[in-house]
Amino acid sequence: MKSQNVVGPRIRQIRYQQALTQDELAARCGALGWDISRGTLSKIEAQVRRVTDRELWYLATALRTSLEDLYPKKMKAPKRSER
C-alpha cells in the first residue's frame, strides 16, 4: 500500500518526544477546534490517511512545533526565502 502522507512518522516521533499519548494529542487538537479521534490520529501516524493543509496546521500547533518540523529531515519544506 502506498503511503498517504509523509508527515506521519515525524508526528509520532515528536509526540513520543513530548511523552504524549494519541488521546492527549487528539485532545489538544480538539481544544484548537479540530475534532479528531485517537483512531484517526493513529491512521495519520501510520501513513494510511491523507492530511490536509489545515490539519497540518492543527497538528503543528498542538505539538507546539513548526510546520517545517513535521516533514522528514530529508524532505524539509522549502523555507520562505527559497520559494
User: Which tens digits make up the pLDDT trace of 13-49?
Assistant: 999 999 999 999 999 999 999 999 999 999 999 999 9
The total number of structural domains in the chain stands at 1
Is the whole-model pTM more than 0.75? Answer: yes
Closest CA to 17 of 65, 58, 55: 65
In a domain, 51, yes or no: yes
CATH number for 23: 1.10.260.40
Query: In angstroms, rounded to a whole number, what is the distance separating the alpha carbons of residues 46 and 43?
Result: 5
Q: Which residues contact 68 (CB under 8 A, 6 or more apart)?
A: 76, 77, 79
In a domain, 1, yes or no: no
Q: Provide the domain limits for residue 14.
A: 8-68
Query: In angstroms, rounded to a whole number, what is the distance separating the alpha carbons of residues 44 and 11?
Result: 8
In a domain, 83, yes or no: no
